[in-house]
Structure 1
Amino acid sequence: MSGRIDVRLDVLLAERRMKSKDLAEAIGVSEVALSQIKTGKIKGMRFSTLLALCEALECEPGDLLVRVRDAD
């Protein structure tokens, strides 16, 4: 298996003209935790957090997370 999962949180925030601080407050996580999600510096995410992100951003999980394949 090769590749990685990229988090497109910055893109979705920009498209919705929303600040990270406001999103963190809306979903009930700290700004530090949200920053770690944005940068992909997490090893996992609870489904409840993913659901809260999708509800706040009015998106689907596939809009937020994308699979990037490594070049062979």
Structure 2
Amino acid sequence: MRDVIEPGKNGVLHDFFDFGALAKSLIEACQHPERFTAMRSEARRTVVEQYDQRRICLPAWLKVIDELL
């Protein structure tokens, strides 16, 4: 995930077993959703631009299949 998520820009990262930090972020997001508005928009933009099924993923897979044939 670290190659996709830019902390504070399009998401929040925590160490895998740091449940306290995860809980703190979830509580903050529930109590202050306005603080995460820009981050949500940026997260969606990242996914649409880099991982869109029709525009990005499918052509990449078709290229792999063509190269194998």
Structure 2-normalised TM-score? 0.29
Structure 1-normalised TM-score? 0.28
**Which has more radius of gyration?**
2
Greater percentage in helix: 2
Q: Which structure carries more relative contact order (alpha carbon 8 Å, separation 6+)? A: 1
